[in-house]
Amino acid sequence: MLMRSISAVIAAAGKARGLRRQRSGERFIEGWILLAGILAIVILLGIVFFLIREGAPIFLHTNPWQFFSGAKWYPVSEPPTFGILPFLVSTMIVTIVSTAIAIPIGIACAAYLAEVASPRVRNMVKPLVELLAGIPSVVMGFIGLMLLSPLVQSTFNLNTGLTGFSAAIMLSMMSLPIIISVSEDALRAVPDDFKQASYALGATRWETIRHVSIPAALSGITAAVMLGVGRAIGETMTVLMVAGGALAVPQSPTEPMMPMTAAIASGIGNAVRGGLQYQALFAIGLVLFFITLGVNLIASRVLERQKRRFAR
């Protein structure tokens, strides 16, 4: 009895020692992970700080109201004028049109992959769709420039094919992989019980997709769309090459226009460092940063809700 209790005590002490060793190793790794997490935040804050430091001084020259509502952008004139309304409107038009094209195609494709396609087809198509995300944006720009813009020009009988609409089509292709991939995951996360119950009530496959699967996965699909929107807003090379780059405030998608990313890219190479144009371009970058940050925050919120809904 005594022997047993002693050996138990010894065993417990040994375990405790092992535990302590494990703890210190664990603490070390935890420290590293913490550091990595903090590093990401530090980088983010650093970028924000840098953007504000370089961009904010422009508001001493042009007041914010003029900056956001001004329709004239003449950065290399004497004196320069900085109004970013044309860029804001262009970004809005291009993003809305590209999303409007990408949503129906993306969700239909995701529904097909998740609900209709055989596992064989799904396992073949999904990696291919994700491969589409790997096509460099400059290649998409080339395709838009050489193939799409002449087509848009002749179809709509326009003066030039380099329009916001052409850019939006290319952007929709670039956001499709994200939308399809994330929506498909969301659709597949819908518990099978829901679908079985629907079939048991005599619903067809289409009725099940439309009335059960998609509504149940709606928050995941919304997040997918938001991520696609974020991609479309931030994309630079394609819009720079295809959108046409006119400085007028666009009235319709079929006009040449210059979204914010293109405005930054097309001006920064020749800007005098620390000069007014440089500051104004950084201020555009700041605006862009907050827009994409907002979109991504909404997306992660919605995605979080989706996860909680089906958490088991």
Partner 1 sequence: MRIKKWHKWLILSTLLVGGLSLSGCAGNSGPAPVTPSPGTELSGTFSIVGSNTVTPITSVWAEDFMAINPGVRISVSGPGSGAGIAALIDGTTEVCQASRKIKSLEIEQAESKGVYPYEIHVATDALSVVVHPSNPVSELTIAQISAIYTGRITNWSELGGNDAEIVAISRDTNSGTHVFFKEHVVQMQGLPTEDKSLEYGPNVLMLPSTEGGVSETAGNPNAIFYPGLGYITDEVKPLGIQITADDISVLPSVETALNGTYPIARPLLYYTDGEPEGIIKAFIDYCLSAEGQLKVNEVGYVPLP
Choose between 105 and 247: whose C-beta lies nearer to partner 1: 247
Question: Does residue 70 interact with partner 1 by CB under 8 A?
Answer: no
Question: Does residue 71 interact with partner 1 by CB under 8 A?
Answer: yes
Question: Does residue 79 interact with partner 1 by CB under 8 A?
Answer: no
Choose between 90 and 95: whose C-beta lies nearer to partner 1: 90
Q: Which of 40, 119, 311, 312 binds partner 1 (CB under 8 A)?
A: 119
Contact 171, 98 (CB under 8 A): yes
Residues 6 or more apart whose Cβ sits within 8 Å of residue 225: 99, 102, 103, 106, 179
Q: Which of 148, 152, 209, 241 binds partner 1 (CB under 8 A)?
A: 241
Q: What are the DSSP calls for 210-245, one per residue?
A: IIIIHHHTHHHHHHHHHHHHHHHHH--HHHHHHSB-
Judge residue 183's burial from the number of C-beta atoms within 10 Å of its C-beta, 0-12 exposed, 13-18 middle, 19 or more buried.
buried
Question: Does residue 244 interact with partner 1 by CB under 8 A?
Answer: yes
Cβ 262 to partner 1 shortest distance, Å: 8
Number of residues near partner 1 (by CB under 8 A): 43
Instruction: Give the CA diameter of the chain.
Output: 99
Residue (of 208, 210, 180, 173) closest to 194 by Cα position: 208
Choose between 125 and 189: whose C-beta lies nearer to partner 1: 125
Question: Does residue 153 interact with partner 1 by CB under 8 A?
Answer: yes
Question: Does residue 86 interact with partner 1 by CB under 8 A?
Answer: yes
Q: Which of 60, 269, 308, 312 binds partner 1 (CB under 8 A)?
A: 269
Sign of CA dihedral 126, 136, 95, 257: negative
Residue (of 166, 193, 182, 275) closest to 228 by Cα position: 182
Cβ 144 to partner 1 shortest distance, Å: 11
Choose between 4 and 120: whose C-beta lies nearer to partner 1: 120
